[in-house]
Amino acid sequence: MNIEAFIFEKALGYFVTALCGGMVGAIVHLWRKVSELHKIEMEAEKKRQEEQEAMKDGIKAMLRDRIYHSCRFHMSNGFITTSDLEVLESLNDSYKKLHGNGIAEKLMQQAHQLTIKIDDIH
Q: pLDDT class for 21, splitting at 50, 70, 90?
A: confident
Which pLDDT does position 78 carry in this prediction?
95
Residue count of the chain? 122
DSSP-derived secondary structure letter, 98: T
Does the predicted model carry a pTM greater than 0.95? no
Which pLDDT does position 71 carry in this prediction?
96
Mean pLDDT of 35-42: 95
Which pLDDT does position 90 carry in this prediction?
96
Mean pLDDT of 17-34: 87
- Report the Cα 122 to chain-centroid distance in Å: 37
Output phi, psi for 78, to 5 deg.
90, 5
Rounded Cα distance, 63 and 61, in Å:
5
Mean pLDDT of 58-74: 96
Question: What's the whole-number average pLDDT of the chain?
Answer: 91
Percent of the chain with pLDDT over 70: 98
Task: Find out whether 81 and 116 touch, Cβ atoms under 8 Å.
Answer: yes
Is the pLDDT at 84 greater than 90? The verdict is: yes
Query: In the chain, which ranges are E strands?
Result: 79-81, 115-117
Rounded Cα distance, 43 and 30, in Å:
20
Angle between helices 82-97 and 103-113 (to 10 degrees): 160
